[in-house]
Amino acid sequence: MSESPKKRSVLDEPDSVIDELFKVDDFDVLTKAEACRYLKCGMSTLPKFNLPVIRVGRSVKYLKKDLQEFLLNKREGGPNE
Q: What letters, b where the CB count within 10 A reaches 16 and e where it falls short, cover 56-75?
A: eeeeeebbbebbeebeeeee
- CA distance linking residue 39 with residue 37, whole number of Å: 6
Residue-level pLDDT at 44: 96
Q: What is the pTM of this model?
A: 0.63
Helix or strand run (H / E) with residue 54: strand 54-56
- CA distance linking residue 2 with residue 77, whole number of Å: 69
Please list the ranges in the chain whose pLDDT falls under 70. Answer: 1-26, 80-81
